[in-house]
A and B are shown apart, each in its own frame.
Chain A
Amino acid sequence: MKTGKSRLLSRSLRITAITYLVVMLVLPLLALFSDSLSEGIVSFWKNMSQPVALHALKLTLITASVMAVVNAIMGTITAYVLTRYSFFGKSLLSSLVDIPFAIPTLVTGVMLVILYGPNGVVGTWLKEVFNLQVVFAPTGILLALLFVGLPYVVRSVQPVLHEVDVDQEEAASTMGASTWLTFRRVLFPALRPAILSGTLLSFARALGEFGSVVVVAGNIPMYSQTASVYIMGEIESQNQVAASSMSVVLLTLSFATILFVDWYTRDKSLEAGEVPEVAEV
């Protein structure tokens, strides 16, 4: 039997937790949605159909998508090499993978400007040889996103690779399967959920990336201004409704992505779950 005291305690615990979640999460979200619609749906639509806003959104989606594709491929290869091969400096390299998580994103931007900027070693060379401007251009945004998103795929694929025995790959090769076929038919099906969730998480992250982009991109409207930088600009010019309209769009996109990843990985983990052993027949 519960005493009145402990019932009171458990109730107040629940109330505390729920209130905390409402105040910290639900309230800001509600405020954002209501503000974006405060001047009506028509105004929301008008804000979003501004060429500058549309271009910023488009640029964000394109750069994030390109980053996601590159990241999926390179992240998988990196994870494969880091788990399947041994070479000098491997453990150091492996721990370096997490650096983008640890570095303040503004610092990331500064590093890229130093390297690729008009006075940077690589930047000068690229400008001279290929007439390619990286910094203060969409390419710079892509570089920044690639840097920030790098750990996601590597870190989600690595543990799965550890689980898949080398045996399976060897078995496939003794049956005549080439390395590529082995990857496609044996390894990839096992890695697919991890690659997809890592990629989508990095995509969601890239949608809202601000710190590194604001330093690298140059933020030229209709050219190199991303959605998050656009929001900052609108806030600074006291155009709060335009800012919140774009915010709602970004929020919906990344929230939907994360919900999908959540649903997808949960579904897969159920499917992959070991079924109890069946008795010998």
Chain B
Amino acid sequence: MAIKIQNITKQFGDFRAVDDVSFEIEHGQLVAVLGPSGSGKSTILRIIAGLETPDSGEVFLTGEEATDIPIQERNVGFVFQHYALFKHMTVWDNVAFGLEVRKVPKEKIQSRVDELLKLVQLSGYSRRYPSQLSGGQRQRVALARALAPEPKVLLLDEPFGALDSKVREELREWLRRLHDEMHVTSLFVTHDQEEALEVSDKVVIVNKGKIEQIGSPQEVYKHPKTPFVTSFIGPVNVVPGRLFGSHDETTYVRPHEIDLTYDVPEGKGGKVLPALVRRLNHVGANVKVDLELADGNTLQVHLTPERLSELSLVEGEQVFVSPKEMKVFTEDYTI
């Protein structure tokens, strides 16, 4: 195991940021820690790095107990959301810093820095200062700097959080390719579910300081285990129990897993609801259909343009809603 944390708990005043969290990460994986802001995900990352001390629990890095090892000796690479580059140093000096600290011989530093700058595609920028670079370039410098001392694990705290969406997408695809080349065990924190699902091998979903689910992107998307995961990952309709199930149950249905028909389909008696088509929105790959149920609740359905033209749906029409797939949770879960 490259990273293992066991029963980690951390409290800030009255606020329990991390509550008895345990997980393991295998060598060479790229793992996302996904959660809303304030869920404790960054704190977990900082505890692994040694930037924060847990109140209880253990941290293992490459099989060795690291809980009491100071940051300086943990040999982790850390990338900060706001780059944290040394402003008064050139790009070259920034990347060389970790090597100089470790007293690597000069010639070796030279070749390693050149190699890394090439890797992050900034070879021509070695003499620039951070203030002369764009956000995306700065974050690539930060990445090169973190990788330079060949860390055991790479930790990234919302690495694309400060970038605009286009650069963000480019950079995350690039990070995936880089990871496939380098195979450094990497753990990155994000609040963006799309980012987590697209880039990672494994997703750790955190909410209110606790782990909700761990699994591959496909697993957590297809088989969410908790109401939180269901509603956090991908769009979902939350339907109160009395419509599809019993009173203490809530049903979660993804908009694209609902079909609409004009008649009650055979053999589907209890799982069908009448609804009124309120609005059709044709923007995007699918058509978004807003429906109003008999009790006033609303429901969104995503239909392919083909299905829509089959139905020749018009706003104001009466249809029947039949979910193809849904998740039912009992109500004692709170979201």
Chain A interface residues (CB < 8 Å from chain B): 164-165, 167-168, 170-178, 181, 185-186, 189-190, 272, 274-275, 277-281
User: Are B97 and A274 interface neighbours, CB within 8 A?
Assistant: no
Once the chains bind, are B88 and A189 in contact (CB under 8 Å)?
Answer: yes
User: Contact: B51 with A170, CB < 8 Å?
Assistant: yes
Given A176-B73, A176-B75, A274-B131; A190-B88 close (CB under 8 Å): yes
* Neighbouring B residues of A174 by C-beta, 8 Å: 49-51, 71-72, 74, 76-78, 146
Contacting residue for B136 out of A172, A176, A280, CB 8 A: A280
Indicate if the CB atoms of A171 and B78 lie closer than 8 Å.
yes
Which B residues are within 8 Å of any A CB, using their own CB?
49-51, 71-78, 80, 82-88, 97-98, 101-102, 121, 129, 131-134, 136-137, 142, 145-146, 148-149, 167
20 contacts between A and B (CB under 8 A): A164-B87, A170-B78, A173-B51, A174-B49, A174-B51, A174-B76, A175-B97, A175-B101, A175-B145, A175-B146, A175-B149, A176-B73, A176-B75, A272-B87, A275-B131, A277-B133, A278-B133, A279-B134, A280-B134, A280-B136
**Chain B residue at smallest Cβ distance from A279:** B134
Specify the chain B residue showing the minimal Cβ separation from A275. B132
Q: From B136, which residue of chain A is reached at the shortest CB distance?
A: A280
Instruction: Tell which of A174, A185, A272, A277 has the most Cβ of chain B within 10 Å.
Output: A174
**Set of chain A residues within 8 Å of B145, measured between Cβ atoms:** 171, 175
Q: How long is the Cα–Cα vector from A278 to B128 in the complex, in angstroms?
A: 11
How many Å lie between the Cα of A178 and that of B149 in the bound state?
15
- Smallest beta-carbon distance B283→chain A, Å: 28
User: In whole angstroms, what is the CA distance A165 to B132 when docked?
Assistant: 18
Name the residue in B71, B88, B142, B145 with the highest tally of chain A Cβ atoms < 10 Å from its Cβ: B88
Residue of B with least CB distance to A276: B132
B101 near A170: Cβ-Cβ < 8 Å:
no
A174-B101 Cα distance, complex, nearest whole Å: 11
The reply to whether B129 and A275 form a contact with Cβ atoms under 8 Å apart is: yes
B87 adjacent to A177 (CB under 8 Å): no
